[in-house]
Amino acid sequence: MSETNMNNTVVDHEYGADEIQILEGLEAVRKRPGMYIGTTASRGLHHLVYEIVDNSVDEALAGFCDTIEVIINEGNSVTVIDNGRGIPVGINHKAGIPGVEVVFTILHAGGKFGGGGYKVSGGLHGVGASVVNALSNWLEVEIYQDGKIYKQRYERGRVCYPLKEIGTCDVDKTGTKVTFLPDDTIFTETTVFEFDVLKRRLREMAFLTKGLHIILKDERKETEDIKADNENEQINELLTRAEADIKSDASVNKKPKFIEFYYEGGIKEFVSYLNKSKTPLYENILYFEGERNNVYVEVAFQHNDSYNESVFSFVNNINTPEGGTHLMGFRNAITKTFNDYARNAKLLKDSEPNLSGEDIREGLTAIISVKIEDPQFEGQTKQKLGNSEARSAVDSIVTEQLTIFLEMNPAIAKTICEKSILAQRAREAARKARDLTRRKTALDGLSLPGKLADCSDKDPKNCEIYIVEGDSAGGSAKTARARATQAILPLRGKILNVEKARLDKIYANAEIKAMITAFGTGIHEDFDITKLRYDKIILMTDADVDGAHISTLLLTFIYRFMPDLIKEGHVYLAKPPLYKIEKNKKVWYAYSYEELDKILQDIGRDQNNKIQRYKGLGEMDADQLWETTMDPERRILLRVNLDEEMESELDLTFTTLMGDKVEPRRDFIVENAKYVKNLDINSL
C-alpha cells in the first residue's frame, strides 16, 4: 500500500510515516463512506459535487473568484472550474508536499492551509476535497497560476504522479479545475447525476453568495438523464395524471442543458423567489447586513398576505432546518422591535397585550444567513446552531437596522403591525376554539369523528387509515376493508386549502378536525407522535387531475401541521389502477400505460380484449377496490418523504401549487415537470 505511494511522491522522505497515515486516512473513508458523506445513495453522490463547489465558494467569499462552472460530462464525471487564485502549488512546510496534494490526500486538510479570508462554507459534515478524492475512481486537478498550468491525477485517492507543469496559459488566467468520476464500487445504487438536483442546490448557493455566477451545464447525451428519470417512474405516473394537459406542450419534454445563476441581491432575491407565487404586503424586501464578534449576518424578509411562516436559516451556506441561536436572535429582534414600534406609534393600545412572535411572523418569508468561523451544532441531529455569539450578533444587527427602517418607512411599519394585530385576534379566537375542542376531548375520552369507520385492532402498529375522497368511494372502501386493521375516513369534496386560511378558520373546518382527531397526535407544538393511532396514513384519491389536487391539499395540510408524520414515513399515497383488462373472463389491472402495454403484449392484442380506463375510485366496486388498491398483499403504496435539505424548495412547492396566482403555478409545473419529486415519493 505504502509502496505505490512512495514511488509516486515528489519529495524525498523523512515523511514515510505520514504517508502511511495519509493512505490510512483515505482508506478509512473508503471503508466507511457513510461516516463522511452520510449516505452512498444518490444524495451522497450529489454531495461530492457540493463538497468541491464549496471550496470555490470559499474562494469567492474571500473575494478572489466570481464565477464557478459545473459540468456534468458524458459518462457522469463532473468538472468544477473557478476563476480564483488556484490552489497553492508550493510545497507545504508541514507536509513537505505541494499544497494541492495536501488538499486532496490528507483528511480534513481543507481550509487549514489557506491563509487569510474566511473558511466558511461548511461542506457536508465539514469534510474536504480529500473525501471526494478517496471516493472517486479517478480525480484530476488543474491549476492555472502565474502563466503556468499544473496538473495531478489520483486514482481511488492515490497519487498517480507528482504535481507537474503541463503547459502555459495567459498570466491573467488563474483558477482551479477539478474533474472526478465517482467510484461505482462505492456508489453502488447510482452514479448518475441528476441535473435538477444539482440545479436546486447550486441555485441556493448562488442566492446565498451575492454576486457569484454559478453555471451548470449538462454535456451528456439524452440517454443518461432519461435513465435517471426512469428510476422515478412511479412518480411520473402520478404526474402524468396532473399534467396530462400540460404535457402536450413540447417544451416540457425538453430538458435544460445549461443554466446560470447570478443574484446581485443575494438573499434579497431569495426572498422574492420564495414569494413569487404569493402576494406581498409591501414592495420592499427588508435587508440587513453586518458583522459583530466575528459573525457575519445577513437577513432579508418580506410579508405576504398568507398565514404561514416561511423562514429559512443558514449557517455557512448550509440550511439549518432546526434553527438555533441565529434564528432565535432573529425572532427575538423582530418581536421586540415591532412591539416597541407598535406601542410608540399607538398602533397597539396600552390595554392590549403584546404581539407574540407568531403574530409578527404570520405570512413572513425570511432568510437568515450567518457566516461563522467555528459553528457548533447541537441537538439530537446536530443540526441546530449553538454558538451564543450568533444569537447576539443577529439580534443586535436586526434590532438596530430594523428600528431605523421602521422609523423611515412608517407606511410599511403600519402595514406589518396591522397584519400582526389581526393575527393576534385570530390567534385568540383560535385558542378559544381549540380550548373548546380540548375540553370536549377531555370529557369524552376520545370523541372520534362520526364519519370515521375505525378499525378494531387497538395496536397502532398494525393499523392504517385510508383518507378517501368522496362519500361513494368512502362507502366502497368501508365495505372492502379489512375491519381489524383498516380504518376509513371519507372526506367530502375539496378540503380546505390551509395555505389560504387563518388558524381560526382552519380549526373550524370539519374535515380538518376529523383528521386531527382521528390521527390522535395533535398539531404544531402539541404534536406528539407517540399518540399516533395508525402506523400508515394512506391518502386515496382518484387517478385524475382533481384527485392529484386533493392529494396535494391533504399533503399540504399534513406538511404544515404535522410534518413529522411525513418525516417519520407514516404518510402514503394509494395507487389505484389506471386500466382494467378483461379477456376470456380473466382480469388484469395495469397501474401505468407501460404496464398496460406489457400485459397486452403478454396476452395478445385481440379484438375481444376489453380495456377499461378507470377515471375514479367510484367506478370500482368494493371487491375491485380491495383487490387493486387496499389489499396489503397486492396494492401499491407510495411513501411520501421530505427532503429536508431542500426545505425552501419544498415550501415553494406547496405555496406555488396551492397559491392563488395562476401563472406562477403553471410555470412551476412546466419548469419542474415533477413536483412530487420534491417530496421524493418512494415506491415500497
The residues of the shown chain that bind ligand TSJ, judged by CB under 6 A, are 52, 55-56, 59, 80, 82, 84-85, 87-88, 103, 114-116, 129, 176, 178
Minimal CA–CA distance to 228: which of 196, 265, 263? 196
Tell me how far, at minimum, the Cβ of 104 lies from ligand TSJ, in Å: 6
Catalytic residue flag (residue 374): no
Tell me how far, at minimum, the Cβ of 645 lies from ligand TSJ, in Å: 20
Spatial separation of the C-alpha atoms in residues 524 and 519, rounded to whole Å: 13
Tell me how far, at minimum, the Cβ of 1 lies from ligand TSJ, in Å: 23
Tell me how far, at minimum, the Cβ of 255 lies from ligand TSJ, in Å: 25
- Given the residues 27, 309, 535, 546, the one annotated as active site: 546
Tell me how far, at minimum, the Cβ of 97 lies from ligand TSJ, in Å: 14
Tell me how far, at minimum, the Cβ of 116 lies from ligand TSJ, in Å: 6
What's the distance, CA 381 to chain centroid? 16
Judge contact between 48 and 182, C-beta under 8 A. Answer: yes
Closer CB to ligand TSJ, residue 60 or residue 540? 60
Sign of the CA dihedral with 666 first, then 671, 675, and 678 last = negative
Which DSSP letter does residue 302 get? E
Tally the C-alpha atoms within 13 A of residue 160's C-alpha that lie toward its C-beta: 13
Closer CB to ligand TSJ, residue 103 or residue 135? 103
Closer CB to ligand TSJ, residue 175 or residue 490? 175
Closer CB to ligand TSJ, residue 85 or residue 213? 85
- Given the residues 269, 504, 542, 651, the one annotated as active site: 542
- Given the residues 243, 469, 645, 651, the one annotated as active site: 469
Catalytic residue flag (residue 544): yes
Closer CB to ligand TSJ, residue 82 or residue 225? 82
Report the largest interatomic distance among the alpha carbons of the chain, rounded to a whole angstrom.
84
Tell me how far, at minimum, the Cβ of 62 lies from ligand TSJ, in Å: 7
166-169 own/partner pairs: CB under 8 Å, 24+ apart: 166/142, 169/144
Query: What would the 3-class secondary structure string for 389-439 be?
Result: HHHHHHHHHHHHHHHHHHHHCHHHHHHHHHHHHHHHHHHHHHHHHHHHHHH
Spatial separation of the C-alpha atoms in residues 474 and 625, rounded to whole Å: 11
Instruction: Estimate the crossing angle of helix 662-671 against helix 647-658, to 10 degrees.
Output: 130
- Given the residues 544, 564, 595, 619, the one annotated as active site: 544
- How far lies 550's CA from each of 111, 467, 540, 543, 658, in Å? 49, 11, 9, 11, 11
Closer CB to ligand TSJ, residue 87 or residue 498? 87
Spatial separation of the C-alpha atoms in residues 13 and 9, rounded to whole Å: 9
Closer CB to ligand TSJ, residue 82 or residue 627? 82
Q: Which residue is nearest to ligand TSJ (CB)?
A: 114
| Identity at 106, one-letter amino acid code | I
As a dihedral over the C-alpha atoms of residue 121, residue 124, residue 126, residue 132, rounded to 10 degrees, the angle is -100
Q: Which residues are catalytic?
A: 469, 542, 544, 546
